Structure 1
Amino acid sequence: MMEINKKSPIPIYFQLKQIILNRIKKGEWLPDSPISSERELSEMFGVSRMTIRQALNELVSEGILYREKGKGTFVREQRIEQSDAMSFTEAALNQGLEACNIVKNFEIEVADMSVMERLGLDNYEDVYYIQRFRTIEKMIIGVEEMYIPVKYIGNIKKDDFKGSVYKLLKDKYDYSIDHVKTTLEAVITGPDELKLFNLKEPAPILKVTAVHVTDKGLNLYYEESLYRSDKYVFNVNIYRR
């Protein structure tokens, strides 16, 4: 068991936070299960309940834990929260989650009418079709299909898409994504999604369709994705014009 180092310059409450997070990551405290009480934690680590409460309050505000009046403090089921033009990988890293992209399909095909219209293409042009499974902590929570015109990125490899697409496009081609034209809708899982997401019965999932636009106004690529709604939250700012 990790111990509190009272001689360390690192605040005691922060050390305690890291110990709790480590226990959750190791599976010692499972989602929706209670953690030890403030009194138990105080006795366990030899620190005041005020310090314990400070650590727990921060973990509650960060969405790691939640409280139920009269019952205690529980581990919250972790969901990735994505906001605005932030990539999935960036969002996961910001929350301290282990994200991975599994590239299942990578090929060149001729754009269909839907892709042509969304990307503003004049002809039936070649596009890269990339299908990726999105995982958090080794669990598949989403499947993404992307269509990127070959003329915009030239020669590229399958393995290039294992990381953040935004970072890839910026580092290799100097494209900066400025905004994303997005449509969100709830749909019910079909047989393929039930198997992919390891669900026992049909459930609502989130369908995302999006055109990613550069700072120069170029519709760079089109995306269609499905995400488990119990594992993924998409935050949107809506302004009244």
Structure 2
Amino acid sequence: MSLEENSAIPLHRQIRQYLENKIISGEWEPGYKIPTEKQLSSLFKVSNITVKRAVLDLVNNGKLYRKSGKGTFVNKHDKTDLSRLVSIHNKFEDEKPYPHKTLSFKKIVGNTELIKNLQIDKNEEIYYISRIKLEEEKPVIIENSWIPAALTPGLTEEEIENKLLYNLFSKKYGLKLDTAKVFISTKTADKSEAALLNIPIGEQLLVLDRYTKTEDDYIVEYSRFKAVFKDAKYFLEINL
């Protein structure tokens, strides 16, 4: 297993990401004994000190724990329901949006990628919304949303501050939502993302791309969520 020696991400963080991915994917389940530091040093061709630092990071954040004389094991973690953070569904008619801080709300003209994602014509206007979702007043998710202005004329920042998108789409604009597709991937935090989420550069992020369609097969919203990895496992349930 080779590391990227010329990467801006330090070697111990690359090793930590490798170990964390094993936990997140479920390959290493709670109670699993991970390879020894000597074995990991041999695998990555680095010093024991580098490996020890990576392992200690995961021990300190609760993903691993040590048993004296027995080794290092994967800790048990509660599953986190991402649907609380990324769903547009509203079980209660007057429920307010998830706690957040709005960074930007403006009209833009889409680039090639956005035109493709929203299936709109060139030069069509789009509402762009950028927010940080908060949990116990701490930043946990960067949310960027793009909404075709033609489907939601007159949308205001005040409305998105006080109402869920689902309610605005269905009640104000009479849009009948049908399906939402969510694509899941991972990435490492760049300088800007790290600053917004108050995490180190290179920290692992969970990325969810959500496309919401109406019964008429129009894409009414495309959103990208970048979530801080804080638990070993996540689950996602979306109801429209």
TM-score (norm 1): 0.56
8 Å CA contact 1:133, 1:144 repeated in 2: yes
- Return the alpha-carbon distance in structure 1 between the equivalents of residues 81 and 90 of structure 2: 10
Matches within 5 A, 1:188-207: 188-200=188-200, 202-207=202-207
Question: Which residue is equivalent to 2:174?
Answer: 174
- Return the alpha-carbon distance in structure 1 between the equivalents of residues 78 and 195 of structure 2: 21
* CA 1:174–1:191: 2 relative to 1, 3 Å: same
Question: Which residue is equivalent to 1:233?
Answer: 234
Amino acid at match of 1:126: E
Give identity over the alignment, percent: 17
- Return the alpha-carbon distance in structure 1 between the equivalents of residues 164 and 150 of structure 2: 20
- Return the alpha-carbon distance in structure 2 between the equivalents of residues 230 and 186 of structure 1: 13
Displacement, 1:235? Answer: 2.1
Deviations 1:99-145 (A, max 9, x none): 31322101111111111112211222111111111112211111111
Displacement, 1:201? Answer: 5.6
Amino acid at match of 1:220: V
Higher relative contact order (CA 8 A, sep 6+): 2
- Return the alpha-carbon distance in structure 1 between the equivalents of residues 82 and 106 of structure 2: 30
Secondary structure of 2:83 counterpart: strand
Displacement, 1:169? Answer: 1.3
Matches within 5 A, 1:1-241: 79-82=80-83, 86-87=87-88, 99-162=98-161, 163-200=163-200, 202-230=202-230, 233-235=234-236
8 Å CA contact 2:191, 2:201 repeated in 1: no
- Return the alpha-carbon distance in structure 1 between the equivalents of residues 91 and 195 of structure 2: 27
Question: Which residue is equivalent to 2:65?
Answer: none
Give the gaps of 5 or more residues in structure 1.
Answer: 1-75
Deviations 1:18-60 (A, max 9, x none): xxxxxxxxxxxxxxxxxxxxxxxxxxxxxxxxxxxxxxxxxxx
Displacement, 1:204? Answer: 1.1
8 Å CA contact 2:209, 2:222 repeated in 1: yes
Amino acid at match of 2:154: N
- Return the alpha-carbon distance in structure 2 between the equivalents of residues 234 and 78 of structure 1: 7
> Paired residues, what number?
157
- Return the alpha-carbon distance in structure 2 between the equivalents of residues 113 and 222 of structure 1: 14
Give the gaps of 5 or more residues in structure 2.
Answer: 1-76
* CA 1:132–1:184: 2 relative to 1, 3 Å: same
8 Å CA contact 1:99, 1:137 repeated in 2: no
- Return the alpha-carbon distance in structure 1 between the equivalents of residues 79 and 234 of structure 2: 10
- Bigger radius of gyration among the two: 1
Displacement, 1:202? Answer: 3.0
- Return the alpha-carbon distance in structure 2 between the equivalents of residues 185 and 116 of structure 1: 21
8 Å CA contact 1:90, 1:164 repeated in 2: no
Displacement, 1:155? Answer: 0.7
8 Å CA contact 1:104, 1:132 repeated in 2: yes
8 Å CA contact 2:190, 2:201 repeated in 1: no
* CA 1:114–1:160: 2 relative to 1, 3 Å: same
8 Å CA contact 1:87, 1:166 repeated in 2: yes
* CA 1:226–1:193: 2 relative to 1, 3 Å: same
